[in-house]
Amino acid sequence: MTGPSIQTCLWFEDQAQDAAETYVSLLPGSKIIHSFPRRGGEGAFLVHLALLGHRYTFLNGGPTYRLSPAASIEVHLDTQAEVDLLWHALVQGGEAQRCGWLVDRFGVSWQIIPRSLLRLMQGGDAAQTERVMQAMMGMVKLDGPALEAAARG
Q: Determine the pLDDT at residue 1.
A: 64
Answer yes or no: same fold for 1-65 and 67-153.
yes
Positions of the chain with pLDDT lower than 70, given as ranges = 1
Please enumerate in sequence order all residues whose Cβ is within 8 A of that of 86, keeping only pairs 6 or more positions apart, or say none.
Answer: 26, 27, 75, 77, 112
**β-pairing verdict for 95-96 and 44-51:** unpaired
| CATH fold for domain 1-65 | 2,3-Dihydroxybiphenyl 1,2-Dioxygenase; domain 1 (3.10.180)
Calculate ∠ Cα 72-30-46, nearest 5°: 70
Domain ranges of the chain: 1-65, 67-153
Q: Determine the pLDDT at residue 2.
A: 84
Q: Determine the pLDDT at residue 96.
A: 98
| CATH fold for domain 67-153 | 2,3-Dihydroxybiphenyl 1,2-Dioxygenase; domain 1 (3.10.180)
Give the whole-angstrom CA distance, residue 83 versus residue 144.
9
Give the whole-angstrom CA distance, residue 23 versus residue 19.
6
Q: Determine the pLDDT at residue 151.
A: 95
